[in-house]
A = this chain, B = another copy of it.
Amino acid sequence: MIRRLDSRDAQFQQELSALLAFESSQDPEVDARVAAILDDVKQRGDAAVIEYTQRFDSLSAATMAELELSQAELKAAFERLPQVQKDALQAAAARVRRYHEHQKAASWQYTDEDGTMLGQQVTALDRVGIYVPGGKASYPSSVLMNAIPAHVAGVAEIIMVVPTPRGERNDLVLAAAYIAGVSRAFTIGGAQAVGALAYGTQTIPQVDKITGPGNAYVAAAKRRVFGIVGIDMVAGPSEILVICDGTTDPDWIAMDLFSQAEHDEIAQAILLCPDAAFIEKVAASIDRQLPGMPRADIIRASLTGRGALIQVKDLAEACQIANWIAPEHLELSVAEPQVWLPELKHAGAIFLGKFTSESLGDYCAGPNHVLPTARTARFASPLGVYDFQKRSSLIQVSAAGAQKLGRIASTLAHGEGLQAHAKAAEYRLDEQP
């Protein structure tokens, strides 16, 4: 079922490229529909959002107030949960919060010999919007992973939007919002929710940034409002790359591959291993365990369509291939993970050692599970506190500093033909040139 590749084959690099090929579709038709919805929300505000919510989510409301969830409703959802779920959510939230506290950047400054002060002031965003998908991909863990970093950064107002088709609410999602410090929540979704957050409506205040995953319409809408508000990355299908030296239980590895594949038919799960016999064991385990999985159909489609078991020369080559793939999740399921860690340059999250299943990181180890996909770990980072802080440069030039800097600036400004720039610098000189 799942394809086998071998790094020694002449065609390997080509096969690997084909396997990874996935360009985030920018369907012109979706894009045109999204543009129209955004324009309408911008012009008509609440009324437009209410109409689209009726049309796309079969949820009717006379006013936007009816689409807002009160703090009491969020709290009630939490209270309704079984104790074991309450405890798990709270434990996960506490660990995620503790981890993210380490990411908080601080302002800094220094003073030159001549008394000129230079620095950078770090402040939190005022207000952010968090998009939480509805329906089958409605995950309480995503609420924690988006809201907690914003809360740790010091964002004053966190606004969650979550579609509730036909009014079906997910208590776990609402409970997670309650725990994570969401300020306001609206049961809206799609491009109309993105528009409401980006432009503001009579009821929903304009935010400064929108984060969180969504379908093709949400992705197109986020791409379109980028610049009016900040956005996080536009996420592609989820991926795992497992590097295994053959010392981990093959059933564990098979299940780790499943846990990525079960997300989505286009999710991607790949194993790199130098041990041919171990690869056979994993393949056998996949065949044996698959029928028992509740989401077997999705897993099968994913593994068949986009999965691979790849035999490599050795672990060094595995690390090279991993760097080229720059996977979202990278399991380094080897006996001595610290030996190989320095070889790894590009990955959203690295899970070291056989006890670190990716699913522990997804929920509660502490790090964020919003990670760069589709090779974007080459340049992008996990969602973090730094996404909810921003910086202002600080410059206070002393009278003495103005003499030195003024001459340099004047020379360069004249070189660029910008005489007002030069003159403004020269005005600060004791002796006018």
Binding site for B on A (CB under 8 A): 23-24, 26, 84-85, 87-89, 91-92, 99, 102-103, 108, 110, 116-121, 123, 125-126, 136, 139-141, 172, 208-209, 223-224, 226-230, 233-234, 236, 249, 251-252, 255-256, 258-259, 261-263, 293-295, 299, 330, 337, 341, 344-368, 371-372, 374, 376-382, 384, 386, 390-399, 401-402, 405-409, 411-413, 415-425, 427-428
Cβ-defined contact, A348 with B424, below 8 A: no
| Nearest neighbor of A224 in chain B, beta-carbon distance | B26
Task: A99 to B367: give the CA distance in the assembly, Å.
Answer: 30
Knowing A24-B227, A367-B395, A376-B227 touch, does A412 contact B92 (C-beta < 8 A)? Answer: yes
In the complex, what residues of B have CB within 8 A of residue A415's CB?
Answer: 85, 88, 140, 172
Give which listed residue, B126, B136, B224, contacts A378 with CB less than 8 A.
Answer: B126
In the complex, what residues of B have CB within 8 A of residue A411's CB?
Answer: 84-85, 87-88
In the complex, what residues of B have CB within 8 A of residue A85's CB?
Answer: 411-412, 415
Cβ-defined contact, A371 with B350, below 8 A: no
In the complex, what residues of B have CB within 8 A of residue A26's CB?
Answer: 224
Cβ-defined contact, A352 with B395, below 8 A: yes
| Nearest neighbor of A388 in chain B, beta-carbon distance | B379
Cβ-defined contact, A425 with B356, below 8 A: no
Determine chain A's interface SS by DSSP, over half rule: mixed
What's the least CB distance linking A103 to chain B, in Å? 7
Cβ-defined contact, B364 with A408, below 8 A: yes
| Nearest neighbor of A103 in chain B, beta-carbon distance | B120
| Nearest neighbor of A347 in chain B, beta-carbon distance | B392
Task: A373 to B262: give the CA distance in the assembly, Å.
Answer: 42
In the complex, given contacts A102-B108, A349-B395, A352-B394, what are 6 additional A-B residue pairs having Cβ atoms less than 8 angstroms apart? A121-B350, A123-B346, A229-B379, A295-B417, A348-B393, A386-B386
Provide a sorted-by-A list of 22 A–B residue pairs whose CB atoms are within 8 angstroms: A24-B227, A88-B415, A102-B110, A140-B415, A251-B427, A259-B423, A262-B419, A295-B417, A344-B392, A346-B390, A349-B392, A350-B393, A357-B427, A359-B425, A360-B397, A365-B395, A365-B405, A366-B395, A377-B390, A377-B392, A381-B391, A382-B392
Number of copies: 2
Cβ-defined contact, B408 with A374, below 8 A: no
In the complex, what residues of B have CB within 8 A of residue A121's CB?
Answer: 341, 350
Task: A197 to B23: give the CA distance in the assembly, Å.
Answer: 17
Give which listed residue, B341, B358, B391, B397, contacts A365 with CB less than 8 A.
Answer: B397
Top 6 closest pairs, chain A to chain B, by CB: A230-B379, A367-B393, A258-B420, A352-B396, A349-B393, A88-B411
| Nearest neighbor of A371 in chain B, beta-carbon distance | B393
Cβ-defined contact, B393 with A359, below 8 A: no
In the complex, what residues of B have CB within 8 A of residue A126's CB?
Answer: 345-346, 378
Cβ-defined contact, B395 with A390, below 8 A: no
Task: A201 to B184: give the CA distance in the assembly, Å.
Answer: 48
| Nearest neighbor of A375 in chain B, beta-carbon distance | B228
